[in-house]
Amino acid sequence: MKTIGTKIMLLAVMSLWAILPLEAKTLIVYYSFTNNTHDIVTDLQTQIEADVLRVEPAEEGIDYAANGYAIGSALIAAIRENPDDLASYPEISTSIDNLEEYSTVIVATPLWWSSMAAPMQTFLFIYGSQLADKNIGLIVSSASSGISGVEADANRLIPDGNFLKPSLWIRSSQTSNCHSMIFDWLDDIIYDDLQAGVGTVELDRGVSVVCANGTLQVSGEFDALRLYDVAGRLLLDTDESSISTNGLAPGIYVAVVEVDGRTETEKISINN
């Protein structure tokens, strides 16, 4: 069903060089009160290359666990009551101005009262919109409660994140043995492929686009594949099912596949 003529349109090599797609760079951002999450992140850093940012509350020395977790619980209650208002969130002293450099962000957080710890929520409330279309990994530390509430918070605060499934739940009692759990999780989310740029895009209607070893391979019936860089520039427009990606700089691209007049858009990472 190749209705339009073959028209591979790899733009001039010189102009491709001028294009700077995102590198596959990872940021770990975390909050930790009693350092379980800190210990998890310390281990994670032995397994992947990443920049790390620790979120710090603006007010130091607060004991969130005192009086049966009274302060921490009150902070969560305030957020739940009015989640769209920055004033509901405890102030933090942490900021970042280079989020655009990262294609993957791993959020590591304690669970408080079945929710994401309040200072981490503040960070994501402020920066969540800048995490749109990035790969988001979620690691949660809790004493015993399940993490679905924290996942819901992450989805609310990063509405357009590309969440890597599953999230990783590490109980406090497992912290000292977290190495293999993290190792297995990185395998589950196919972290190496994110970094190596082997991209797979599964689309409705049985079409998939796989990028590996310098080739973009489309399987299934489709009419057109268009590839854009992150700045929205069209690099490729084709109905071929096997396309060389030589000449494209490694990084994140946007693939648009057209089937029967309908289009689907997905991110794909390319590494030649």
Ligand X SMILES: Cc1cc2nc3c(=O)[nH]c(=O)nc-3n(C[C@H](O)[C@H](O)[C@H](O)COP(=O)(O)O)c2cc1C
Map residues 186-215 to x or -, x wherever contact with ligand X holds by CB under 6 A.
------------------------------
Q: What letter represents residue 47's amino acid?
A: Q
Yes or no: say if 170 and 177 are a contact pair by the CB < 8 Å rule.
Answer: no
What is the nearest approach in angstroms of ligand X to the Cβ of residue 56? 13
What is the nearest approach in angstroms of ligand X to the Cβ of residue 149? 9
Yes or no: say if 211 and 21 are a contact pair by the CB < 8 Å rule.
Answer: no
What does the radius of gyration of the chain's CA atoms come to, in whole angstroms? 21
Torsion of CA 261, 199, 184, 106, to 10 degrees: -90
Which is closer to ligand X, CB of 172 or CB of 215? 172
Yes or no: say if 82 and 5 are a contact pair by the CB < 8 Å rule.
Answer: no
Give the binding range for ligand X (CB under 6 A) out of 7-15, 18-26, 137-145, 203-211: 137-145
Residue nearest to ligand X (CB): 72
Which is closer to ligand X, CB of 103 or CB of 141? 141
Give the binding range for ligand X (CB under 6 A) out of 84-92, 138-146, 242-250, 253-261: 138-146
Q: For residues 66-95, which are near ligand X according to CB under 6 A?
A: 69, 72-73
Beta bridge partners of 259: 262
Which is closer to ligand X, CB of 65 or CB of 196? 65
Length of the chain: 272
Contact pick of 26, 32, 88, 269 for ligand X (by CB under 6 A)? 32
Residues sharing a CB contact under 8 Å with residue 75, sequence separation 6 or more, in sequence order: 64, 90, 112, 118
User: Which of 109, 93, 34, 38 has its CA nearest to residue 69?
Assistant: 34
Two tokens, residue 157: 């605060």
What is the nearest approach in angstroms of ligand X to the Cβ of residue 222? 46
33 touching ligand X, by CB under 6 A:
yes
Which is closer to ligand X, CB of 86 or CB of 143? 143
Residues of the shown chain interacting with ligand X in the complex, contacts defined by CB under 6 A: 32-37, 64-65, 69, 72-73, 110-114, 141-145, 172
